[in-house]
Amino acid sequence: MAIKTTDLCDEHEEALRVLAPLFGDYGGRHAFAGTIATVKVFEDNSRVREALDEPGEGRVLVIDGGGSLRCALLGDQLAAKARDNGWSGVVVYGCVRDAADLADLDVGIKALNTHPCRSIKRGEGERDVAVTFAGVTLRSGEWLCADADGIIVAEQPLA
């Protein structure tokens, strides 16, 4: 049985944080959950690629792209890498591209919007740092659950 954010909100309201409803679904998996790994970047997806090259082990990569709408931080190649390396999903506070192809991949992807341009590669950014967007601070090691109703975060897995 799938975990539902609505049920978790009803049962554990005091133990979780709910992100503002800013994100659309882009991946082929519309519900996903896992331990968070964070990346903080701005219009440079070098650290995103670095993270997705590693075994995901069911984790969720949370990308704080500063909310930029000027380029994409994730496209079909990186999303396929996420799927192949066992990531449960990716949340992008920024844009994705190759939207039609992303929809065919069995990985969860939430993002602000789409943009056809790729990011630049400067090798900049930080990993495993606290990030704050959509009214919530997210930390590596916390737990995230996302579905069609939204995105929630808790200090530990809820079921």
**Residue numbering of the annotated binding site:** 75-78, 97-98
- Feature table: binding site for substrate: 75-78, 97
- Give the start-end residues of each E strand in the chain: 16-18, 24-25, 32-40, 60-64, 72-74, 89-96, 108-114, 126-127, 131-133, 136-138, 143-147, 150-154
What is the C-alpha to C-alpha distance for residues 22 and 91, in angstroms, rounded to an integer?
11
Q: Name the helix (H) or strand (E) containing 99.
A: helix 99-102
User: Residue 47's Cα: distance from chain center in Å?
Assistant: 14
- Feature table: binding site for Mg(2+): 98
